Structure 1
Amino acid sequence: MKYVLNSKEHSNPDVVIVRAPEHNYEYLQWHEDVNAAYLLSVFLKAGYDAEVYDYALRSSPLEFNPEELLKKRASLIIWVVDKHPTNNPFHVSEMIRKFSAIASSEKPHLSIYGNTQVGPERFLRELPIDSVILGEEHDALSLVRCIIEGNDLPSTTGTMFKASDGKLHATPVAPRPNLDDLPWPARYYFHDSRLSQNPKDYVGAIMASRGCYAKCTFCYIRSKEETHGEYSWQGRAPEDVVDEMSFLYFTHGVREFAFVDPQFFGPGKRGHQWALRIADLILQNGLKDIAFSIYARANDIRQDSIMKLKEAGLYAVFIGVESFSQDVLNRYRKGVTVERNVEAIELLMQHNIRLRMGFITFDRNSTFDELEQSAIELERLCALRGDLITQPVFFNNSLTALENTPSSALVDVTEGNDQEVRNAAPLLYEYRRKLSRGNGSTTNPDVRVEVLAEATRMLAAELTQRSIQLEAQLSKDGNETRPAQTEETMAWFDGLTPFAVSTFTKLIGDVKSRKLVKIGAEVDRLAEWIGTECKTYDSLHLAGRQLEVASSRTISMD
């Protein structure tokens, strides 16, 4: 068995791995960070004492306490940044600053691991850290050995750090690991006395592959080409994947899984054969009544594969649609057509599979024609099965030009920006600035598009606050919640995506038709209108009740 047991908490571990929250609201995960879990497993197997502090787990009572971390007296603290591209590095940055403020001379070596988004150079310039791990598990292990044994940082692999002359130095990364040679990720959820350890509170994150065969210009995987030269799709043996799932199923009672691979299917016929083999093994191994989700490109959604995967337990798929305008897809080199995106979505709907859509609604080149094309198709899909489209504010997204990707060059272009619209939408621009290369941001020269982006952000803030309230209500003990009230709440959620898309469509038409003489006044007007629309939606679905939320002008839900 490839599982490394982590059965004890250490008073003075060699290394502490920290997972920060991903957002500044109560958006918590049902599963461990699989990257942190792989690191933990590799360190334990190598003979080092290590443990994880996970502040993003839904079932965790942990609150960040820098003094508690300092008392561990670890030689090294590794702060894991989730590799999913929509999660931001704000909170890990703030935690590092708070920790460093009290650490003084006792400060351990601080390093960051994962998808930095803003680039390792910016982290090293702006944060009180010592290094950024550029590679994967073997590179992280080389850093641990270096620090524990008192060696110099140039002896590591895949590490960027400040040299004695103040310049940044990067060591070459180690070859990508053979995924079948790695130990399974250490499931610290089931061995940490601070956590509930209840399988009902848990989703088993499975990484069955890494990399991708596509070449989308914006994707964080493209940034790995800077260090690895190539980061093509690499899959584990299907037998090893399902053995790990079986271990969680039979040992810990896990019934829900999330494949966190950025692209579940490998390229071509062999990629689909690999996926079908996993489905067959799930069925053969007796993993009954499980449910799992995957990430996939639209061109890989095929009738035969989806039918077999659904039989094995598939219930939800994330597709990076980005837009229903072909011009936008071509701009991002998606390698897919609008028609293929639509065909994939309709196929999933036919099989009653839930859908999460990745969308990049706004970028420097966005036009109202492109936005209207997307809105028209979204409304049509919502009319088909809007209840299957989850995360209704998916279209609140501007292009984040990640470091070392082909899209990153966009952030240096700032001409045409209107200071008045920046003053009217400070939260929108602050979010973009924090995620962009060199503190810059990419904006659209048409101020109406920028006002629409702010209006979309405000709509997302309104709906996210409401969703949090109602999710908390649903999580209460059934004896405390009236069945009728539960039905009302579920109806509110089921209709949310069609409502959000309809409101977005109205916003496009409203903003496009106006001259926007006074930007601040227009944004205030839109904020009031959005709030009224949301309250009306509440009343229609919650028996006249309206939810109380903070003003979308002043609260960020990033």
Structure 2
Amino acid sequence: MENNMSIENFDIAVVILVYGENYEVADDLVAGYITAMLRKNGHSVDIIEIDKDNENIGLDYLTSKEYKMVIFTIPTSSNIPELINFSNYVKSKNPICNTVLTGWDHHSAPIDIDAVIRSSEAIDVIIRGEGEQTVVELAELLYKNESLDNCEGITYRIGERIVTNNNRSPIACLDELPFPARDTHTRHAYESFRISSARGCLGNCTFCPVPAERVSGNLPWRGRTPENVVSELKELVNTLGIRHFMFIDPTFEDPGEKGKERIREISRLIIKENLNINFLVNMRAENWSDSDRELLELLYQAGLESVTVGIEAGNERTLRLFNKRAHIQDFFTFINLMKDFNIYLAYGFIMFHSYCEIQDLRDNNNFLKDAGIGHMMGAYLIKLKAFPRTQIFQKLQSDNLVKTTQNGIYSLFDYKYIDPRVQRLAEKMDWVGQQLNVRPDIHFYNIQKFTTFVSRIRRKIEKSDNQESMKHLLPIENAVEHMKSSLNELNHKWFSQCIDWVEHNGKDEEFDNIMNKHFADLKVEYDKVKSVQMRSGRGLIRVMNM
């Protein structure tokens, strides 16, 4: 049958789920990139948000128009049940539309593709791997009502039959991609954006989705040129006024010395263009040493404000389980380097997992204290996210530690613990996390936010060379460091008590007493943050406006 519809009328919706931990709608680069690619090729595309707290509003808007293609992006938190339910709803309202799930690389969770597409007849296609080229070809074929047999990188449904086509090679030259669409900024006026300057990672951590998504024979890492990266930054600064960015590259400095030269040139161009930005990056500790001080200074001058490093564990046994290339001493070296350059350190840590022993908990607790980073209470609560197809998931399966789940749909925490005591404490830490979420009076966010603010003041003073202002800043910095040190000691003592409690099969009411005491102690420390903010606020504002 001849298709007389124009491509502009083949309406497409790209749907973002505003779900999951620290997941911001403005940061969905999967949606941004595939939208930009589709528009570049003449398609009409709307970006639609479905908010966890207002699902009906988003769904009503999505089904108010007869879209020919509805594309759901897969969040990093892998909200598969929601994606299935929403696909079912869309199909019930618009049976002729084509529903598609897509994600790519480290920006979405690996899923059991076969199990997901078989779980619902409402899901027509799942795009595997990077979606920009695939989604354009798929849209063209659906628009022309042609066969999908030769479309690489998809798994799709033909009646009751599921077909898996050949893999599509990752995009070799990332500079050829258009800059991602940023539609949601106009709706929410976000002050920061994520930037993807590279894809892939040379690491091979057993729990990480990135190596799980690699296609055999393809390059594990590809990077944009410094000129292309800074061109996007410049455009966002000049057109949207954005000055705060997070580079979501799994490892900013990959691959090796060539990678360090690449980020050196990015820094030089940022300074040359006088962009006056702040940015966050991810790094691997083993890649950095005292010989890199010149590069770190340049990064700092360009605006490097915060670094996230994957520490994950406080002993060598667990580091080897996770296939981390770093050793404990590498982390101490890296932490000290960041402190020397006044760069805020965030870190990944996995306190609980199936193979965790009581001694591992003690080692982790002691490491956090000795490294001086135990002030962040969240580090004591984190459980392994066991993504399907990762190496650690495969090990869990071979050791019969994966729980049986309905219809093959797997939650990221559906695994058993070898030591029931560790499991008991992990479950208690879930409750602690819930308490922190509803108790802003004892949440560390105040210190983190204040520390970042003070860091930006320091940069401003350093650029002005106003030593008199620096005299006012130093006492504030010292006060913040003192509070972090106090919390570091306090959390170490508290978690030691928790380990002792579970090791000796303590009663639930005893744990409640431990937590009540700790929450009271935390509030005393957090009140100090407010006190420092009140005493120093006016002075800092004067410095900011100098």
Into which bin does the TM-score normalised by the smaller protein fall? 0.7 to 0.9
Match of 1:340 among 319, 327, 330: 330
Give the aligned residue type for 2:497.
Answer: K
Q: 2:241 maps to which residue?
A: 253
Q: 1:51 maps to which residue?
A: 46
Residue 354 of structure 2 contacts residue 415 of structure 2 at CA under 8 Å; is this kept in 1? yes
In the aligned structure 2, how far is the partner of 1:529 from the partner of 1:238? 52
Residue 245 of structure 2 contacts residue 280 of structure 2 at CA under 8 Å; is this kept in 1? yes
Q: 1:15 maps to which residue?
A: 12
* 1:300 and 2:280 correspond: no
**Aligned to 1:154, what secondary structure does the other structure show?**
coil
Give the aligned residue type for 1:135.
Answer: G
* 1:504 and 2:495 correspond: yes
1:98-118 CA-partner distances (Å, limit 9, x unpaired) = 452364262321111123333
1:217-276 CA-partner distances (Å, limit 9, x unpaired) = 221011222x45445121100011011111111222111111111111112211111111
**Aligned to 1:153, what secondary structure does the other structure show?**
coil
Give the aligned residue type for 1:464.
Answer: N
Pairing 1:203-222 to 2, within 5 Å after superposition: 203-222=192-211
* 1:435 and 2:411 correspond: yes
Describe the shift of the 1:229–1:530 C-alpha distance in structure 2 as closer, same or farther (beyond 3 A).
Answer: farther
Match of 1:33 among 28, 32, 55: 28
**Aligned to 1:117, what secondary structure does the other structure show?**
coil
Distance apart, 1:542 and its partner CA: 4.1
Q: 2:387 maps to which residue?
A: 402
Distance apart, 1:120 and its partner CA: 1.5
* 1:411 and 2:402 correspond: no
* 1:275 and 2:257 correspond: no
In the aligned structure 2, how far is the partner of 1:468 from the partner of 1:147? 53
Give the aligned residue type for 2:439.
Answer: R
Match of 1:313 among 300, 303, 306: 303
| Structure 1 unaligned blocks of 5 or more | 1-9, 423-428, 476-486, 546-558
Q: 1:479 maps to which residue?
A: none
Q: 2:461 maps to which residue?
A: none
Describe the shift of the 1:166–1:250 C-alpha distance in structure 2 as closer, same or farther (beyond 3 A).
Answer: same
Match of 1:121 among 104, 114, 117: 114
In the aligned structure 2, how far is the partner of 1:95 from the partner of 1:170? 22
Q: How many residues align?
A: 480
In the aligned structure 1, how far is the partner of 2:418 from the partner of 2:152? 43
Q: 1:132 maps to which residue?
A: 126
Residue 316 of structure 2 contacts residue 328 of structure 2 at CA under 8 Å; is this kept in 1? yes
In the aligned structure 2, how far is the partner of 1:178 from the partner of 1:254? 26
**Which of the two has higher C-alpha Rg?**
2
Distance apart, 1:180 and its partner CA: 0.8
Residue 87 of structure 2 contacts residue 123 of structure 2 at CA under 8 Å; is this kept in 1? no
| Structure 2 unaligned blocks of 5 or more | 1-6, 450-475, 531-546
Q: 1:76 maps to which residue?
A: 69
1:475-499 CA-partner distances (Å, limit 9, x unpaired) = 9xxxxxxxxxxx9xx9899659635
Residue 279 of structure 2 contacts residue 304 of structure 2 at CA under 8 Å; is this kept in 1? yes
In the aligned structure 2, how far is the partner of 1:355 from the partner of 1:240? 27
In the aligned structure 1, how far is the partner of 2:437 from the partner of 2:71? 31
User: Aligned-pair RMSD on alpha carbons?
Assistant: 3.6
Match of 1:144 among 114, 132, 139: 139
Describe the shift of the 1:267–1:29 C-alpha distance in structure 2 as closer, same or farther (beyond 3 A).
Answer: same
Match of 2:370 among 353, 356, 380: 380
**Aligned to 1:145, what secondary structure does the other structure show?**
helix
Match of 1:65 among 58, 63, 66: 58
Q: 2:539 maps to which residue?
A: none
Q: 1:3 maps to which residue?
A: none
Describe the shift of the 1:229–1:469 C-alpha distance in structure 2 as closer, same or farther (beyond 3 A).
Answer: farther
Query: Is the helix fraction higher in 1 or 2?
Result: 2
* 1:534 and 2:531 correspond: no
Residue 436 of structure 2 contacts residue 442 of structure 2 at CA under 8 Å; is this kept in 1? no
With normalisation by structure 1, the TM-score equals 0.77
In the aligned structure 2, how far is the partner of 1:416 from the partner of 1:37? 37
Distance apart, 1:346 and its partner CA: 1.7
Identity of aligned residues (%): 22
Distance apart, 1:52 and its partner CA: 1.0
In the aligned structure 2, how far is the partner of 1:526 from the partner of 1:140? 52
1:289-334 CA-partner distances (Å, limit 9, x unpaired) = x110001111233423222111110111111111121111112211
Give the aligned residue type for 1:505.
Answer: S
With normalisation by structure 2, the TM-score equals 0.78
Distance apart, 1:351 and its partner CA: 1.8
